[in-house]
Structure 1
Amino acid sequence: MPSLMRSARGVPTDDGGMLTRNWRRSDDSLSAFRSRVDLDDSRSLTTLIESEIIPRLMVAHATDLEPPAAEIEESGVTIDPAEVEALAPMALQVEADVLLAHVERILSRGVSVDTVMVDLLAPAARLLGEYWEDDRCDFIDVTMGLWRLQEIVHEIATPASPKRIGAGGSSSALFASMPGDGHSFGTVVIEEVFRRDGWETDRLSDATTPDLLKRVSAGWFDLIGLTISCDCHIAELPSLIAAMRNVSRNPRACVMVGGRVFAANPDLARQIGADGTARDAKVALKMATSLVRERAREAAHYR
């Protein structure tokens, strides 16, 4: 595990002199993150990024992330993996103004804000964690790099607007990470994408199986989504999915699963009792909408 070197490089001054734009700092959150790593430096920084920092990037200012309906629509313009490779070192080396100008150029070619958050900023944040674990940068560097990425999220977030009632309509969804998994990044991203499309969403992180089943039985959900980051949990999924269906207040609730193992073998989702899987949150939104509509048609047919 790399040592936590105390480099002062890149630390902003109290008056914000490091940046020329407004720096929406959260000193308490940054101090808490540093203290947590100091007290428990045996944990992987990548895990901390996924469970602590990226969720803050995505939802700390959720009220700022409601775009106009037109902006939610997919533009068809995507992020090249090389752009992620380029952005991560930039976050370590340049000030936030320069980083923001780079991201704004990407947005100017028609890439949506959703795509930039899901396919550029979040992967770049994970890549910073890999840099640290490989001893390519120190702890202060990667912390400040992550904070610069957070500043980008603040700057590109559109003003709050009325919730869009789009393809999802008033459908409801519960998203949770697999009990015992500990990685909440996937759930944070997918909930944010569904929420921005107009779904009523709920999210559980670091929940036990009894906690998850209690939440499923307490509310009405059209969709239940599980994210699995560790392949070792696959054997537990059939019984968990069966239990969720058994206690669900909605007998026609759809269950979707996501994670690396399902990306490699999509057929596994149905084998373990789920209704489907998707390679990313945006594809999951389209699939879930289709599944929920189909279940609604079935229910109407049998009335």
Structure 2
Amino acid sequence: MPNGVLANRELVKVANKPFDDRELDQEAYEQAEEHFRLVQTRLPQDAVEAVAREVVRRLAFRLPRNLSSGHMPTEEEIDLLCEALLSNDEVAGDRIILAARRDGIEPENIYLGYVAGAARRLGVMWEEDRVSFLQVTMASGKLYRIIRGLRHVLDNSLNLAGPEKRSLFALVPDETHTLGIEIATDVFRRQGWDVEMVMGEPHDAIIAMTEQHRFRSVVLVAHSERMLAALISLVLAIRITQPMAYIVVAGNIVDQVEDVSTLVGADDVIPDIETAVGRLGAIIDFD
């Protein structure tokens, strides 16, 4: 294989080889897979479509912090990757991306070239009605799953992202109950935490803040089940922009939605103010 580049014929072979999951963060990979499955079974179609569009958009236009001058995939390679993602073979796309990694292609080029390139192509195909809503939803889920499984490799600069007690507390967009998050912020700050509080901001502004700062944890606060779709979109976007951050759900939605952390793809929940400080410390594993 010349210069470590995956030729098109090799991509076709790779997509049909047995899948080796030992190269992945298996826990994150399986969590992402379960998350997407639940989203498709528990949310109405318009909400599922919004989630799929959010994943495609974030993956398509998120640029790595550093870009090497190494190999970038050809149009034909992106076509083959998209074909694999749209196929009935659940892991054909995974095999192509893992093979690129094994072939020595830099993580930044895998992200910007393969993942972002495939996401952009899928978005165009969707807009032009060349693929169905269901096809793009399945393909975007596969892309999200693989970048979660490779999170340490694709964004290892964030592995020790910021001080342990640096956290973002964000009220889900359109949520109007602010007292709980204000009290929680005050409690955490009194205990020595560096907490940034965000209320009344739209989705993109919250995500922009996570991209600009290194938060070890992000606490998303919602108080009713009607915030579920907005909460899921936030979690997905933060998983893409801050892959190593711990994401926690708080507010009354914890009591209203069964197993809400699994459904939205978070790491855990904070059920009450009284135990909040100790629980978040335990979640991110420090004393």
TM-score by length of 1: 0.39
TM-score by length of 2: 0.41
